[in-house]
Structure 1
Amino acid sequence: MTDIQIYPVATKADENDFIELPYRLYAGDPHWVPPLRSDVRELLDAKKNPFFDHARLQLFLARENGSVVGRISAHIDELALAQPAEQGMGPGTGNFGMYEAESREIGDALIAAAEDWLRDQGMTRSLGPLSLSIWDEPGLLTKGHDHSPTVMMGHHKAEYQDWIEAAGYQPVKHLSTWELDIAQQFPPLINRIIQSGERSSRIVVRKVDKSKFAEEAATILSILNDAWSDNWGFVPLTDREIAYAGKKLKPIVREDLIRIAELEGKPVAFMMTLPDLNEPLKDLNGSLWPLGWAKLLLWLRNPQVRTMRVPLMGVLKEHQGSRLASQLAFMMIEYIRRASVDHYGASRGEIGWILDDNQGMIAIADAIESNINRCYTIYEKTL
């Protein structure tokens, strides 16, 4: 007879067990990309991660007959609580995430513990998985288990979908990534739209300037918080969070892969593209020692990758839904496509995630002949 025990993470040893579990559970999965343990530890560190400026978290571990067999997080984001309920977050909404379990029975016990903690904190709704915020790794992978995720995207066991749904959770939102062959030219119509924009004296699409990194990051944040403010699940990024993200991403930021579009001298849109860091990370098993640091440093000097990922794109709300918005998007995508192929040897692009009701972005993805390759589902349950 098994004895499943669920208890809150309270010690450094507990935290180590929490971090280590996935490395064992996914050891036989060729498509899982082990994150750097140091990155996971920093994600959970309230002294380093500015998410905790406005959030509180409790981690839980499951043990069965003395062995660690599962984990889950329960957390509450005060900025999310302040958002309109009709946009997906709002008052009374807490979150769970970082869910891993060896069996449905263990998963049920972990979910129950997370729900109890959320109730004790006054929450009336559980939304997840979010690991940890909507800006980190949102959703459970429900399509695309047959290939590896790109940088900053999650990978989960296929059976988790049935377990979470059996625990009473209902899908509330689907997020998709779209892949395309970037070695090929875009359709003639798209090229004509791009050429029309290039002839306009009102439009400038420029590279970012890393020598003015803080200023450029502030410009992108301003556009992002405006462009995404009506989206489902939106939670504004704080100045400290954007500075923190910029510092983390700076080693893989390339000026020709991030573009800002200006209309009559005013920044109105941006597109951020990252070389797929998961490609060099995949064989490091979550550690830079003894020689992983040298391999990663060499790759960072001149990243040559198969895949480029577009994690973020935005157009100011005043221009959304217009022909100009699509034109600027196509121009940025094309300029980054050329740089990706010519300078980094890439042949594949991945855009997303994209919300299932974001008709503008879906139309752009369709127009450049991309296809959905991975789907992530966010679930909700009334507590």
Structure 2
Amino acid sequence: MATPRSSWPNEMARSSAASWCATMQTTTPSIDRTSAALVCLNQPTMPMLRRHCSIARLNGPPTILTAHNPPYYQQLIESCGFAKAKDWYAWWFADPAKAAARLRPLAERFRKRWPVTIRPGNLRNIREESRRLRQIYNQAWEKNWGFVPFTEAEFEFMTHELKQLVIPDFTLIAEVGGEPAGFILCVPDINIALRHINGRLTTFGLPIGLIKLLYYKSRTRTARLIALGVIEKHRRTGIAEMLVLRIVEDAMIKRGFTGELGLTLEDNFMINRFLEAIGAERYKTYRIFKRTLT
């Protein structure tokens, strides 16, 4: 489960991405003339974080690091010759207590069999923690559709961007024998607070927007689970179950949070069945489109 990124050479050699200019209900793909030798064009995209097109289930406003668009975008994109490449799902946890009740027996059973240590992220040593998370991420997702390894600079940038939102209990690292084995990253949904300031931190020179932002940020009780990953050799040892249980118990139940999980690939049947089994509801679908160039 992850926030996907912008290109996927593992699946499509000689591919590129289209940017779009959309005004009202017209759209024009802007394609570099040098792409004539390409065999595939992928859309929609943005640097580092892939901008999906929301389709079908547009329930609620966008959460942090997710896209949102008018419903007619799907028709416009398809009218330009694009077809579905892959769908991604977002899930909603409406009842964390129910999830904890289902996870607890599984996690306890695995905990007795495997020596796993789970600790919160150390924000005082953010550079070293960033290195560990990047190591886990690149190994855990390397076989996923569309995966591109994070460079050190990219991951440091992402860490810097999210640092102000990260809460130690919401970022957990699993270790086996002192070595990183998995991690889970959850952040409060700052979008809820941002909606109250209407894009302005000041009014008539007064920091009214900033005060509102800080006020609503402290009262936000919605989070988004951005990433959950376990290195392949440590899978099926209960690490994922233990990580999710800790987040549900410590972040959601104790602090009164509900929230979104995602995104997951439509054909990642194992993680999708797992989320359904613990009571998560699939409530949004995002799509990546592709077009073969002839």
**Cross-structure match for 1:362:** 272
Match for 1:210 among 107, 119, 123? 123
Return the alpha-carbon distance in structure 2 between the equivalents of residues 168 and 201 of structure 1.
51
**Cross-structure match for 1:179:** 92
Residue correspondence of structure 1 range 274-293 to structure 2 within 5 A: 274-290=187-203, 291-293=208-210
Paired AA for residue 358 in structure 1: N
**Cross-structure match for 2:18:** 96
Cα deviation for residue 96 of structure 1 reads: 2.1
**Cross-structure match for 1:145:** 58
**Stretch moving more, 203-212 or 311-320:** 311-320
Q: 1:120 to 1:95 in 2, by over 3 A?
A: closer
The alignment status of 1:310 with 2:220, answered yes or no, reads: no
> Normalising by the residue count of structure 2, what TM-score does the alignment of the two structures yield?
0.89
The superposition leaves residues 296-332 of structure 1 with CA deviations (integer Å, 9 ceiling, x where unpaired) of 23455xx332321111111112234x2x1xx211211
Return the alpha-carbon distance in structure 2 between the equivalents of residues 342 and 244 of structure 1.
31
Residue aligned with 2:164, SS: helix
> Normalising by the residue count of structure 1, what TM-score does the alignment of the two structures yield?
0.69
- In structure 1, the gaps of 5 or more residues are 1-50, 52-76
Cα deviation for residue 342 of structure 1 reads: 4.9
Q: 1:360 to 1:304 in 2, by over 3 A?
A: farther
Cα deviation for residue 195 of structure 1 reads: 1.7
The alignment status of 1:319 with 2:241, answered yes or no, reads: no
Paired residues of 1:138 and 1:376 also in contact (CA < 8 A) = no
State, as a whole percentage, how many aligned pairs show the same letter: 24
Residue aligned with 2:198, SS: coil
Cα deviation for residue 213 of structure 1 reads: 0.9
Paired residues of 1:148 and 1:155 also in contact (CA < 8 A) = yes
Q: 1:187 to 1:272 in 2, by over 3 A?
A: closer
State which structure, 1 or 2, has the greater radius of gyration over its C-alpha atoms: 1
Q: 1:141 to 1:263 in 2, by over 3 A?
A: same
Residue correspondence of structure 1 range 224-243 to structure 2 within 5 A: 224-243=137-156
| Count of residue correspondences | 285
Q: 1:338 to 1:296 in 2, by over 3 A?
A: same
- In structure 2, the gaps of 5 or more residues are none
**Cross-structure match for 1:329:** 240
Q: 1:245 to 1:375 in 2, by over 3 A?
A: same
**Cross-structure match for 1:373:** 283
Match for 2:249 among 338, 356, 363? 338
Return the alpha-carbon distance in structure 2 between the equivalents of residues 235 and 314 of structure 1.
15
Paired residues of 1:206 and 1:260 also in contact (CA < 8 A) = yes
Residue aligned with 1:94, SS: strand
Q: 1:174 to 1:220 in 2, by over 3 A?
A: same
Higher relative contact order (CA 8 A, sep 6+): 2
Q: 1:231 to 1:374 in 2, by over 3 A?
A: same
Q: 1:98 to 1:137 in 2, by over 3 A?
A: farther
Paired residues of 2:140 and 2:230 also in contact (CA < 8 A) = yes
